[in-house]
Amino acid sequence: MEGLVDTFCNRLNTAMRIRNIKATELSEKTGIAKSSLSEYINGKYEAKQDGVYLLAKVLNVNEAWLMGLDVPMEKTTDDLLKKIGAVPLSDIETTPIPILRNC
């Protein structure tokens, strides 16, 4: 993919290819009209925030990645936890606790 610009339409097409999903199926699963989806796929327009959310959800990719940002394609549990205001385990400092004997 050398020389390929990471635009919304390129990322959308990449995710569709990797997930093996056709435009018709994506339209059905997202509720986005086939005509709008066709315009996204062909680079005529970019989806608005609600459309990006639906596409990312169905394609199981990171929304920021789909918009062209330099982040991993895959969604992570940590991203989801942060989105709902929870603290991911990876952000928690741990302290060893000695095993209690003869309680």
What is the structure's pLDDT at 81? 63
Domain assignment of residue 91, yes or no = no
pTM of the model: 0.70
Domain assignment of residue 20, yes or no = yes
Predicted confidence (pLDDT) per residue in 42-88, tens digit? 999 999 999 999 999 999 999 999 998 888 888 776 666 666 676 65
Give the distance between the most distant pair of CA atoms in the chain: 71
How many structural domains are present in the chain?
Answer: 1
Predicted confidence (pLDDT) per residue in 3-29, tens digit? 456 899 999 999 999 999 999 999 999
Say whether pLDDT at 1 is over 50. Answer: no
What is the domain range of residue 4? 1-69
What is the structure's pLDDT at 74? 84
CATH number at residue 28: 1.10.260.40
What is the structure's pLDDT at 95? 62
